[in-house]
Amino acid sequence: MILLTGGAGFIGANFVLEWLAIHDEPVINLDKLTYAGNMESLAVLQGDPRHIFVKGDIGDAALVSGLLERYQPRAIVNFAAESHVDRSISSPEDFIQTNIVGTFRLLEAARSYWVGLDMAEKTGFRFLHVSTDEVYGSLGPADAAFTETHPYQPNSPYSASKAASDHLVRAYHHTYGLPVLTTNCSNNYGPRHFPEKLIPLMIVNALAGKPLPVYGDGLQVRDWLYVADHCSAIRRVLEAGKAGEVYNVGGWNEKPNIDIVGSVCALLDGMHPRPDGKSYREQITHIKDRPGHDRRYAIDASKIERELGWRPAETFETGIEKTIRWYLANPGWVADVQSGAYRDWVDTHYAGAATA
């Protein structure tokens, strides 16, 4: 079996669902269930003996060590992270604790477990760390896309905390020999995405008749990766990746944020028209740009294609249509996830944002 951390979050939950749809190998799912952890995303697995859910923190060394000792997993896949840049600007300490200290304690538990395995188990064991392209910093319009050897230049507390965790993972391989793998992905989107990130926020706000907040001129460029493609890449890296290596995972879909918002509006105009017959584009509202906002990210995913034969299956056009259809078909999930602390934070954050 495998131990997966952060498996009730957006990418983690999608990974668990896809893993168990194609594998019989059980998953131990360790998640702290903070605001972005949503067990409703995993409701279809209730009663499935292949899904062993444990509520807990990767920073709890005794808990993690106990799980490793009890279940003897052949791999750890670390999704657990604080990941929203805006939150990292207002509350950086949470990111330091989870992304840096938590990863350190998880690595320590993994190392202690790994050294006690027999030779065959040690050789087959993997620690796969899921990271982000934001560790590489920002690109100019004509700059080449990020490769695995691009220098780290993080510009937000979030990306700095993820960069630190990447360095720790690398160090545990080079110092202790722990067989690690690291993936650095571009912007994910798809079903079950917590609606504080751009695409789900636009969908949810549009349907609710609320403003669609776009930072600055909206020309910040990102590479967009459908979450199912990301999950397939992680499975492939876990299966065939070389210990100690880093693999960039991207969708080959560079698009400005304002174009993303326009695409969402256009699709909603066709799938779920406004009662007044007007376009959802009328709800777009430009707000003051956030501090230190990176202008462009772009992933060169040639290495994973060349060495492991992986390439995304979805174009942006096919992925965004699937995403919007999922949100339209799951209003109950959307309603539930908007309750409580999330609603309070988003309302406070965007209500105070001045127009650009």
CA distances from 148 to 118, 143, 231, 246 (A): 32, 15, 19, 6
**CB–CB of 182/169 below 8 Å?**
yes
In the prediction, which pLDDT does 350 show? Answer: 44
Check pLDDT > 70 for residue 340.
Answer: no
Going by DSSP bridges, is the β-strand pair 254-256/221-226 parallel, antiparallel, or unpaired? antiparallel
The verdict on residue 212 lying in a domain is no
Q: Rounded distance, CA 233 to CA 305, Å?
A: 10
The verdict on residue 44 lying in a domain is yes
Which has the higher per-residue pLDDT, 351 or 293? 293
Question: CB-based burial of residue 272 (10 Å sphere; 0-12 exposed, 13-18 middle, 19+ buried)?
Answer: middle
Q: How is the beta sheet containing 75-78 ordered, strand by strand? A: 51-55, 27-31, 2-5, 75-78, 126-132, 180-185, 246-249
Check pLDDT > 50 for residue 331.
Answer: yes
The verdict on residue 276 lying in a domain is no
In eight-state DSSP terms, residue 218 is S
The verdict on residue 355 lying in a domain is no
- For the ranges 63-72, 78-87, 99-108, the lowest mean pLDDT is seen at 78-87
The verdict on residue 344 lying in a domain is no
Q: Which domain holds residue 69?
A: 2-189+224-252+297-315
Residue 126 is part of a domain; what is its CATH number?
Answer: 3.40.50.720
Q: Rounded distance, CA 275 to CA 207, Å?
A: 10
Q: Rounded distance, CA 83 to CA 197, Å?
A: 10
Q: How many domains does the chain have?
A: 1
The verdict on residue 163 lying in a domain is yes
Reported as a pLDDT band with limits 50, 70 and 90, residue 342 is very low
What pTM value is reported for the model? 0.93
The two three-digit tokens of residue 322, written as one number: 């699937």
For residue range 143-202, list pLDDT tens digits in order. 999 999 999 999 999 999 999 999 999 999 999 999 999 999 999 999 999 888 899 999
The verdict on residue 273 lying in a domain is no
**Radius of gyration from C-alpha coordinates of the chain:** 20
Reported as a pLDDT band with limits 50, 70 and 90, residue 83 is confident
In the prediction, which pLDDT does 347 show? Answer: 54
In eight-state DSSP terms, residue 176 is H
Look-up of token digits 């995403």: 323
For residue range 15-70, list pLDDT tens digits in order. 999 999 999 999 999 999 887 788 889 989 989 999 999 999 999 999 999 999 99
The verdict on residue 338 lying in a domain is no
The two three-digit tokens of residue 117, written as one number: 């395995």
Q: Catalytic residue numbers?
A: 133-134, 158
Reported as a pLDDT band with limits 50, 70 and 90, residue 343 is very low
The overall average pLDDT reported for the chain is 93
Q: Burial letters for 52-78: b for 16+ Cβ neighbours within 10 Å, e otherwise?
A: bbbebbbbbeebbbebbeeeebebbbb
Reported as a pLDDT band with limits 50, 70 and 90, residue 243 is very high
Chain centroid to Cα 190, Å, comes to 11
Going by DSSP bridges, is the β-strand pair 212-215/180-185 parallel, antiparallel, or unpaired? unpaired
